[in-house]
Amino acid sequence: MGAVSSAGFRGALGGGVNRDCGEDFIDPATYGKSVHYTLAKDRFGRVEDTWDLIVLLLVLFSGVLPAAFNRFVAWSGDSAWAMAVFVFLVGVGLALTGLPLDWYAQFRLEERFGFNTTTPRLWWADRLKGLLLALALGYPLLVLILKLVEWTGAHWWLWAWGCVLAFQLLMHVLAPVLIMPRFNKFTPLPDKLSLRATVAIHNIVEAVSQNANHP
């Protein structure tokens, strides 16, 4: 969330917009808590972005990536399957550097506001399932893209774009049915409650936008 959004939430917190935010659905105390939570998430998000940038710069300019690549190629060869393994391992390595911040966000930040609904065991299980899912879906896609580089020459990027687009569209259809239920529990809202929630969210967004002078 950017600075405009943060300013909007600060204005909403101090600007007395609760009367416009569906007080029959969200009481002022809960609304204020949600605003403080959003601001805290915003600040922590900036810390995460800074850390990710530092790690990326270190990887790019320290020379560790070319050295690792040369050793990997000397050991495994330069086939598309091997190159996909290297790219996948680099992605896993970069993800590992963010685990401490992910853990803090879940078990410190979320816990502070009473929003943490998981346990360390479930948290690690989700990370393992995410890794296996990336291996099952992401690795074949990487191999296909690298094969397209070999097969299609100068126009490989166009074929790769088409494959990635098709994959994303397929995931939009399959993820809510097959993947997301593996990580989350979904309970449909009653029709009346769903309508009230929609109206309340619309009013909150509108009030925040007006306070931020960003309609």
Distance between CA atoms of residues 206 and 215, nearest Å = 8
Distance between CA atoms of residues 51 and 45, nearest Å = 10
Q: How many residues does the chain have?
A: 215
Distance between CA atoms of residues 40 and 6, nearest Å = 10
Distance between CA atoms of residues 122 and 38, nearest Å = 24
32-47 residue pLDDT tens: 788 888 899 999 999 9
| Backbone φ and ψ of 10, nearest 5° | -65, -40
Residue type, 82: A
Q: Global pTM?
A: 0.68
- Give the pair of three-digit tokens for residue 70: 């040369």
112-154 residue pLDDT tens: 888 888 899 999 999 999 999 999 999 999 999 999 998 998 8
Question: In a 10 Å sphere around its CB, with 0-12 CB exposed, 13-18 middle and 19+ buried, how is residue 155 labelled?
Answer: exposed
pLDDT at residue 87, as a whole number: 93
Mean pLDDT of 176-190: 76
